Chains A and B, each alone.
Chain A
């Protein structure tokens, strides 16, 4: 299974954190620190795999964002790269040419999309279209909520 997924900028600012095992706040902060240090220190043309404790860490940079996925030792690193890529494609389809700012200002949407793609550290849906449709449908349900409330804009 996947253990955690982190997104952070080139300056090490966290943009998304998804944890698939329970951990204390302190542990999470330490892991974030370790990951950002390790990944940002990598040479530009190194391979995308690192070893950290008993896990394999797969990282890939997309524009100004680093995607950092930790998997257990028996998992397939190459397909993990594809998992990261698939998530980026989903974000891209949703936001239209996604960039870091989209994820900063709409972080909750990034989480919702992730939650339609992965659950409990495993892939739940392998079809891009299905994930997109689910998100669109959920968004529409939100609209239904809002239609009862004229004055209040919940998310600007």
Chain B
């Protein structure tokens, strides 16, 4: 039988194949030859055959029939065989394979081999892909080799130990003695792998972490030597001595210094030294600086050092290298919460990054920009962000629009500015705006009473220009339906009133009904708007005509509406004015804060819209997280600030549902009670939540939850209908001191078996001398009927000083949870 062809011969041959089919044919032929060679138990060529098999495996062809051959190669005495055998094992024999464990004995023998390169092969293989069982069996051998004086083996044993610990964390203890003098090694390979091993142990066990804290001075010394020592050809990279080791040490220092004052102080100097002395002209220096910054920000460093770190990031932002800019933005996002003011200083540079060509940088810059918006810079920032919205890629527009809306809602300097900003977003990015922005915007517009005329005028003008962007069209139709009378009367204080007749308005609305560009939902909006105008305009005949035409529309939704409106004209005309009268101010729970507790820090992409809740915003701010951090969050569940679930506007939006959606409980402003009673047939099937829950569960007595320093918080109870497991608690906060308590924030947390929902407060100022109370509604779901406990956190400002307090509330009356 002729000798099997050589590896490189095979590679050359396969590369000459011109088609996939040709290649497959060659491969199959060779595989067949290899198989028969394996069957003949040919020791001489086994190595060559397995090597060829590995090549074909890389091309994507199956190679499992070579698994056992790899084992035979490993067991061979020849180094060449072992080398290929172990390579094959690493490629073909991971722990999912049945024959994986058969390697254990070979590896064990080779770990004790007389040749260090064979031992090295075994250590490498075990350290890359040893299964848990294998690790358990061989941990003892690894531990022995960890204590050898042979640095070639010691470094490999250290990484092997890391792998063992990752696979079988319980074995960590057995490596502890061997770590004793790892750091006294001069050999950089051993040093590096030792630091990795120590890092792994500290990350996994707080006890180990405490134990290894004493190594901080030694680590600081090693780092210092690396920086101060002269040129070392063996480890030099662009003038820096062993950057890999420096970075690893910095990382270990970070872990050791976190939450520990003494360790942090011990490393202060060296961090400052690295931060100021590292050469920044090449990537490698910046890599070290980056790691240093991360360390400074994580440990308990003094403020001077922190400012130094942020300034380094600021310099990074100006670097020509995109990678550096990207890394700077990511880090700044992480620190913007804790060091807000320091990051603000670099705001203009960050905003410039919005114009960067790189997509990843733009996204980071956008997230960071939103995090930096505050009451002082809102006008300037919004200008930049709106400009960005105009010109950015579609993938950004939805998130940017949401961010703009949120920022505007929080910091708008005036109502007019707010409306103008919304208009700008709707007209430039109107089709990318999220569906639930429409009801939010409608609510906002309703509440800006003095701006109604201005708003409807602007929206009308926008419609004349462009009816393709659905959210814009929907908001505009709704407003025209609502405020059409203001539109035709020509009263507008903010700008030059336009002259428009009733017919022109109806032309536009009817145009929406017939246009191909209108979505079904939009058509619904516009039909309703036309109907509403019947009480606002003088001539109803045209409207009656339109409504009756659509009574036979193919679209079931439109048909139903038209039929009902027709009925209104015919049989219930006396009710029509009351039904279609102007909407009252709508109440809405706060939407300033993400609905999820996950601390995104802007790292993850803003998540997909949940059709029930407003989308979580990429802003890192989250009150609930503060509470978690404060309370350790072991047995308490953080408060979830959500709005009452609203159906997205696209899911039908009949008049009834629109009313239901917008009538939400919770009172942001002291507002009058919502619309008076309406005929029952229209309200059937409306949201089951009564607006003000006056079902007095009189059986549950009120209680005082907190009474300290002049602030008293009482709880009153109601039983939510229809769910008896939900307790509705209203807090009443009163202030008996002489000065008002401003910026009052009430937060609550409950044990894990409960669920909590906090609606927005009536106000955030508790007036002095008991002149008024702040109320807020808490809903607690208690399916297991456990004893109700709560931890509350109160923050407010009194006479200019911030006050913060935590308390446990345990005196809930039994009726509230039984």
Q: Does B117 contact A (CB under 8 A)?
A: yes
Q: Does B78 contact A (CB under 8 A)?
A: yes
Q: Chain A 126-139, CB within 8 Å of chain B: the 1/0 string?
A: 11111000100110
Instruction: Select A154's contact among B48, B96, B357, beta carbons within 8 Å.
Output: B48
Please report the C-alpha to C-alpha distance between residue A20 and residue B54 in the assembled complex, in whole angstroms.
Answer: 18
Instruction: Select A119's contact among B12, B159, B245, B322, beta carbons within 8 Å.
Output: B159
Whether B155 pairs with A125 at a CB distance below 8 angstroms is yes
Q: Does A64 contact B (CB under 8 A)?
A: no
Q: What is the minimal beta-carbon distance from A145 to any residue of chain B, in angstroms?
A: 5
Please report the C-alpha to C-alpha distance between residue A83 and residue B196 in the assembled complex, in whole angstroms.
Answer: 15
Whether A145 pairs with B54 at a CB distance below 8 angstroms is no
Please report the C-alpha to C-alpha distance between residue A48 and residue B283 in the assembled complex, in whole angstroms.
Answer: 12
Whether A134 pairs with B124 at a CB distance below 8 angstroms is no
Q: Does A99 contact B (CB under 8 A)?
A: no
Whether B359 pairs with A46 at a CB distance below 8 angstroms is yes
Whether A134 pairs with B128 at a CB distance below 8 angstroms is no
Stretch at the interface among B186-194, B257-265, B502-510: B186-194
Q: Does A97 contact B (CB under 8 A)?
A: no
Please report the C-alpha to C-alpha distance between residue A46 and residue B321 in the assembled complex, in whole angstroms.
Answer: 10
Q: How many residues of A contact B (CB 8 A)?
A: 59
Residues of B at the A interface (CB closer than 8 Å) are: 3, 6-9, 11-12, 15, 44-45, 47-48, 51, 54-55, 58-60, 78-81, 83-84, 87, 90-91, 94-96, 115, 117, 120, 123-124, 127-129, 131, 152, 155-156, 159-160, 162-163, 166, 188-189, 192-193, 196, 234-235, 237, 242-245, 247, 251, 283-284, 286-288, 290-291, 294, 322-327, 357-361, 603
Instruction: Select B58's contact among A19, A73, A107, A149, beta carbons within 8 Å.
Output: A107
Q: Does A88 contact B (CB under 8 A)?
A: no
| B284: chain A residues within 8 A (beta carbon) | 78-79, 82
Q: What is the minimal beta-carbon distance from B534 to any residue of chain A, in angstroms?
A: 54
| A16: chain B residues within 8 A (beta carbon) | 58
Whether B360 pairs with A79 at a CB distance below 8 angstroms is no
Please report the C-alpha to C-alpha distance between residue A55 and residue B761 in the assembled complex, in whole angstroms.
Answer: 41
Q: Does A62 contact B (CB under 8 A)?
A: no
Q: What is the minimal beta-carbon distance from B108 to any residue of chain A, in angstroms?
A: 18
Task: Say what secondary structure dominates the interface of chain A.
Answer: mixed
Whether B80 pairs with A122 at a CB distance below 8 angstroms is no
Q: Does A87 contact B (CB under 8 A)?
A: no
Q: Does A96 contact B (CB under 8 A)?
A: no
Please report the C-alpha to C-alpha distance between residue A111 and residue B83 in the assembled complex, in whole angstroms.
Answer: 10
Whether A79 pairs with B243 at a CB distance below 8 angstroms is yes
Q: Does A104 contact B (CB under 8 A)?
A: yes
Q: What is the minimal beta-carbon distance from B253 to any residue of chain A, in angstroms?
A: 14
Whether B87 pairs with A82 at a CB distance below 8 angstroms is no
Which residues from 58 to 100 on chain A have a C-beta closer than 8 Å to any C-beta of chain B? 73, 76-79, 81-83, 86
Which single residue of chain B is at the shortest CB-CB distance from A16?
B58
With A125-B189, A126-B192 in contact, do A152 and B44 touch (Cβ < 8 Å)? Answer: yes
| B325: chain A residues within 8 A (beta carbon) | 47
Whether A47 pairs with B54 at a CB distance below 8 angstroms is no
Q: Does A146 contact B (CB under 8 A)?
A: yes
Q: Does A29 contact B (CB under 8 A)?
A: yes
Whether B283 pairs with A82 at a CB distance below 8 angstroms is yes
| A14: chain B residues within 8 A (beta carbon) | 58-60
Whether B323 pairs with A81 at a CB distance below 8 angstroms is yes
Please report the C-alpha to C-alpha distance between residue A127 and residue B192 in the assembled complex, in whole angstroms.
Answer: 11
Instruction: Select B8's contact among A15, A50, A141, A155, beta carbons within 8 Å.
Output: A155
Whether A79 pairs with B244 at a CB distance below 8 angstroms is yes
| A124: chain B residues within 8 A (beta carbon) | 155-156, 159, 189, 192-193
Whether B6 pairs with A76 at a CB distance below 8 angstroms is no
Whether A126 pairs with B245 at a CB distance below 8 angstroms is yes
Q: What is the minimal beta-carbon distance from B245 to any residue of chain A, in angstroms?
A: 6
A-B contact pairs, 15 of them (CB 8 A): A22-B96, A43-B358, A45-B357, A46-B360, A78-B290, A78-B324, A79-B284, A79-B287, A82-B284, A104-B11, A120-B159, A127-B234, A134-B117, A137-B117, A155-B8
Which residues from 92 to 116 on chain A have a C-beta closer than 8 Å to any C-beta of chain B? 104-105, 107-108, 111-112, 115
Q: What is the minimal beta-carbon distance from A88 to any residue of chain B, in angstroms?
A: 13
Q: Which 3 A-B pairs have CB atoms at the shortest separation, nearest pair first?
A: A78-B287, A156-B6, A47-B322
Whether A154 pairs with B80 at a CB distance below 8 angstroms is yes
Q: Does A123 contact B (CB under 8 A)?
A: yes
Which interface residue of B47, B81, B287, B325 has the most chain A CB atoms within 10 A? B287
With A14-B58, A156-B6 in contact, do A122 and B159 touch (Cβ < 8 Å)? Answer: yes
Which single residue of chain A is at the shortest CB-CB distance from B94?
A22
Whether A119 pairs with B124 at a CB distance below 8 angstroms is yes
Please report the C-alpha to C-alpha distance between residue A49 and residue B90 in the assembled complex, in whole angstroms.
Answer: 28
Whether B48 pairs with A155 at a CB distance below 8 angstroms is yes
Whether B84 pairs with A108 at a CB distance below 8 angstroms is yes
Q: Does A24 contact B (CB under 8 A)?
A: yes
Which single residue of chain A is at the shortest CB-CB distance from B246?
A79
Whether B247 pairs with A120 at a CB distance below 8 angstroms is no
Which single residue of chain B is at the shortest CB-CB distance from A112?
B83
Whether B117 pairs with A141 at a CB distance below 8 angstroms is yes
Instruction: Select B327's contact among A29, A77, A156, beta carbons within 8 Å.
Output: A77
Q: What is the minimal beta-carbon distance from A104 to any residue of chain B, in angstroms?
A: 7
With A108-B84, A123-B244 in contact, do A49 and B326 touch (Cβ < 8 Å)? Answer: yes
Whether A156 pairs with B55 at a CB distance below 8 angstroms is no
Q: Does A17 contact B (CB under 8 A)?
A: yes
| B12: chain A residues within 8 A (beta carbon) | 105
Whether A142 pairs with B287 at a CB distance below 8 angstroms is no
Which interface residue of A45, A46, A122, A129 has the most chain B CB atoms within 10 A? A122
| A73: chain B residues within 8 A (beta carbon) | 603
| B117: chain A residues within 8 A (beta carbon) | 134, 137-138, 141
| B360: chain A residues within 8 A (beta carbon) | 46-47, 49-51
Which residues from 6 to 36 on chain A have a C-beta closer than 8 Å to any C-beta of chain B? 14-17, 19-20, 22-24, 29
With A79-B247, A141-B79 in contact, do A119 and B128 touch (Cβ < 8 Å)? Answer: yes
Whether A145 pairs with B245 at a CB distance below 8 angstroms is no
| A15: chain B residues within 8 A (beta carbon) | 58
| A146: chain B residues within 8 A (beta carbon) | 80
Please report the C-alpha to C-alpha distance between residue A48 and residue B9 in the assembled complex, in whole angstroms.
Answer: 37
Please report the C-alpha to C-alpha distance between residue A137 and residue B3 in the assembled complex, in whole angstroms.
Answer: 29
| A134: chain B residues within 8 A (beta carbon) | 117, 120, 152
Whether B47 pairs with A154 at a CB distance below 8 angstroms is yes
| A129: chain B residues within 8 A (beta carbon) | 234
| A122: chain B residues within 8 A (beta carbon) | 159, 162, 193, 196
Whether A112 pairs with B87 at a CB distance below 8 angstroms is yes
| A43: chain B residues within 8 A (beta carbon) | 357-358
Whether A123 pairs with B192 at a CB distance below 8 angstroms is yes
Please report the C-alpha to C-alpha distance between residue A141 and residue B90 in the assembled complex, in whole angstroms.
Answer: 21
Q: What is the minimal beta-carbon distance from A89 to any residue of chain B, in angstroms?
A: 9
Whether B322 pairs with A138 at a CB distance below 8 angstroms is no
Q: What is the minimal beta-carbon distance from B441 to any residue of chain A, in angstroms?
A: 32
| A156: chain B residues within 8 A (beta carbon) | 6-9
Q: What is the minimal beta-carbon distance from B750 to any residue of chain A, in angstroms?
A: 30
| B51: chain A residues within 8 A (beta carbon) | 108, 155
